């Protein structure tokens, strides 16, 4: 046990610090694990960690652990799953205050019957709210977690507990700081809880699938289909990703979830059948299509303008990737097989394809999942961003000592 960790035990008490043999996680050598059960405890822990200059690796449900740079320079693992309380649901307002440690599945279940739904659906069964927000994790229905957040409770690296935003649906009272914490991978503060704006549960939901060929020319038609007014999720998946959920032998399938007003859903279903040959499908088809979004070993995300992903998908497919695209959102994921965790050539090949895809399509690529060895020395978040100097200035303000997830974010922040 290092001296710093020893003092951590002295300050927080032996029951709060789980000591273990040095363990390599995400390139970090971790000596201890902290599992705060309350915001107060989290604040106290961060204060002491700061005094002892012991950086932490943050972990929610673990589903986005591999979507970040390595090595992490942390010494202690901080698990946020214990920051949990029963969600405070205000069904009259359509808002809810939820704990960061709450599992999304549990939050969704708690909302059943309220007439509202959780506006987040990233892949990953164990995803926590805090982790999903910190990673700005996109799902097929809700691509922008930032839009769901009305207010946040955050513990800063200094151990200060702050609140930003509020519980009301419209608010310009001071800076919109919540935006800063959503999507910054825990590097600016640890999310403790959130006020979320819920979405009304749709009157009707239907899933259908339409066959598509691999010719990028067909993607314009997929985009038009995905832009019909009742479409809540549209995933254009290579057949391999759908497996036996595919009702035929087309090379690609557009899986569409229609949701909302029953008459509008029926009208869109009819139009999709007429214009795209769409067939009714089971709700599970969408979950199957998410496979590429949710499973390793190597996944790359391309974000481009909506008309651009087709060309990118072609590049990724040429390099052996299985591609899932969300046409109207300009997102595409490619899943690649690797020959073991040290398959450098496999990673290089996939990344080269992604780089070409991005240079064709504009936009950016992100390494969403890869073995630690494959991320070593590579920028997970794509190329240099034009605003890196500003990102650094922001990091210096919120976490000057580099306590929170050091080395994990864009540019090694």
Partner 1 sequence: MHSARSAARSEGSARAESPRPGLLAALREIVGAGGLLARPEDLLVYEADGLTVHGAKPAAVVLPRDKTEVVRVVRACRAHGAPFVPRGAGTGLSGGAIALDDGVVIECSRMNRMLRIDPENRVAVVEPGVVNADLSQAVAQHGLFYAPDPSSQMACTLGGNVAENSGGPHTLKYGTTTQHVLALELVLPDGALVRIGSATGFPAGSDLVGAVVGGEGTLGIVTEITVRLSPVPEHAETLLGIFPDVVSACRAVGAVIAAGLVPAALEIVDRRTIAAVEASVYAAGLPTDAGAVLLVELDGPAVAVARQVERVRALALAAGAREVAIARDAAERARFWRARKGAFGAMGRLAPDLYVHDAVVPRSRLPEILERVCEIGDRYGLRLSNVFHAGDGNLHPNISFDRRDADELRRVVAAGEEILKVCVEAGGVISGEHGIGTEKRAYLSMVFSDADLGAMCRLRAAFDPDGVCNPGKIFPTTRFCMEANPKARGYERVELG
Please report whether residue 94 would count as binding partner 1 according to CB under 8 A. yes
The nearest distance, CB 16 to partner 1, in angstroms, is 23
Nearest by Cα to 106 from 42, 140, 153, 61: 61
Cβ-based neighbours of 348, under 8 Å, separated by 6 or more: none
Please report whether residue 410 would count as binding partner 1 according to CB under 8 A. yes
According to CB under 8 A, which residues from 226 to 265 bind partner 1?
A: 227, 229-230, 260-264
Which of 18, 175 has the CB closer to partner 1? 175
Residue 84 sits at the vertex; the CA angle it makes with 78 and 90, to the nearest 5 degrees, is 140
Name the segment binding partner 1 (CB under 8 A); options: 7-15, 50-58, 160-168, 207-215.
160-168
Please report whether residue 170 would count as binding partner 1 according to CB under 8 A. yes
Please report whether residue 112 would count as binding partner 1 according to CB under 8 A. no
According to CB under 8 A, which residues from 364 to 383 bind partner 1?
A: 364, 366, 381-383
Name the segment binding partner 1 (CB under 8 A); options: 22-30, 152-160, 289-297, 338-346.
152-160
Please report whether residue 295 would count as binding partner 1 according to CB under 8 A. no
Please report whether residue 337 would count as binding partner 1 according to CB under 8 A. no
The nearest distance, CB 412 to partner 1, in angstroms, is 11
The nearest distance, CB 385 to partner 1, in angstroms, is 4
Nearest by Cα to 36 from 47, 24, 52: 47
Partners of 209 in beta bridges: 255, 279
Which of 306, 320 has the CB closer to partner 1? 306
The single residue among 341, 385, 402, 412 that binds partner 1, judged by CB under 8 A, is 385
- Tokens 């910054």 identify what position? 184
The nearest distance, CB 4 to partner 1, in angstroms, is 26
Q: Are 157 and 404 in contact (CB under 8 A)?
A: yes
The single residue among 126, 160, 215, 344 that binds partner 1, judged by CB under 8 A, is 160
Please report whether residue 404 would count as binding partner 1 according to CB under 8 A. no
According to CB under 8 A, which residues from 191 to 210 bind partner 1?
A: 200-203
Which of 7, 97 has the CB closer to partner 1? 97
Number of chain positions touching partner 1 (CB under 8 A): 88
Q: Are 151 and 195 in contact (CB under 8 A)?
A: yes
Please report whether residue 216 would count as binding partner 1 according to CB under 8 A. no
Which of 16, 152 has the CB closer to partner 1? 152
Q: Are 34 and 17 in contact (CB under 8 A)?
A: yes
According to CB under 8 A, which residues from 121 to 150 bind partner 1?
A: 136, 138, 143-144, 146-147
According to CB under 8 A, which residues from 15 to 74 bind partner 1?
A: none
The single residue among 14, 21, 113, 172 that binds partner 1, judged by CB under 8 A, is 172
Alpha-carbon distance of 253 to 276, in angstroms, equals: 11
Please report whether residue 359 would count as binding partner 1 according to CB under 8 A. no
Name the segment binding partner 1 (CB under 8 A); options: 23-31, 104-112, 175-183, 239-247.
175-183
The nearest distance, CB 17 to partner 1, in angstroms, is 26
According to CB under 8 A, which residues from 313 to 332 bind partner 1?
A: 329-331
């Amino acid at each position: 046990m290092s001296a710093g960790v020893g003092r951590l035990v002295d300050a927080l008490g032996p029951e709060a610090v789980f000591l273990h043999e040095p363990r390599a996680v995400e390139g970090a050598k971790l000596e201890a694990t902290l599992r705060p059960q309350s915001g107060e405890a989290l604040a106290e822990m961060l204060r002491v960690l700061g005094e002892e200059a012991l950086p932490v690796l943050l972990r929610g449900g673990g589903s986005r652990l591999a979507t970040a740079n390595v090595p992490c320079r942390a010494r202690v693992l901080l698990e946020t799953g214990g920051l949990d309380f029963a969600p405070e649901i205000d069904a009259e307002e359509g808002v809810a205050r939820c704990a960061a440690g709450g599992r999304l599945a549990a939050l969704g279940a708690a909302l059943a019957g309220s007439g509202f739904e959780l506006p987040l659906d990233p892949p990953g069964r164990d995803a926590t709210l805090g982790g999903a927000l910190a990673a700005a994790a996109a799902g097929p229905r809700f691509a922008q977690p930032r839009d769901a957040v009305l207010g946040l409770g955050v513990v800063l690296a200094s151990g200060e507990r702050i609140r930003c935003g509020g519980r009301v649906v419209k608010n310009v009272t001071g800076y919109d700081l919540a935006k800063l914490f959503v999507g910054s991978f825990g590097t600016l503060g640890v999310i403790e809880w959130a006020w979320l704006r819920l979405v009304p549960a749709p009157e009707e939901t239907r899933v259908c699938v339409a066959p598509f060929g691999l010719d990028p020319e067909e993607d314009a038609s997929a985009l038009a289909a995905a832009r019909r007014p009742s479409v809540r999720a549209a995933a254009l998946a290579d057949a391999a990703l759908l497996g036996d959920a595919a009702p035929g032998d087309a090379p690609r399938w557009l899986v569409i979830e229609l949701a909302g007003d029953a008459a509008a859903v029926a009208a869109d279903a009819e139009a999709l059948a007429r214009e795209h040959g769409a067939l009714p499908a089971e709700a599970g088809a969408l979950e199957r299509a998410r496979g590429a979004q949710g499973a390793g070993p190597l996944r790359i995300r391309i974000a481009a303008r909506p008309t651009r992903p087709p060309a990118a998908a072609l590049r990724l497919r040429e390099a052996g990737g299985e591609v899932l695209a969300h046409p109207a959102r300009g997102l595409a994921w490619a899943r690649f097989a690797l020959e073991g965790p040290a398959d450098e050539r496999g990673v290089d090949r996939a990344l080269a394809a992604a780089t070409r895809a991005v240079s064709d399509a504009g936009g950016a690529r992100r390494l969403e999942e890869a073995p630690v060895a494959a991320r070593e020395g590579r920028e997970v978040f794509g190329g240099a961003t034009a605003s890196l100097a500003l990102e650094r200035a922001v990091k210096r303000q919120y976490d000057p000592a580099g306590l929170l997830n050091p080395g994990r974010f864009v540019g090694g922040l």
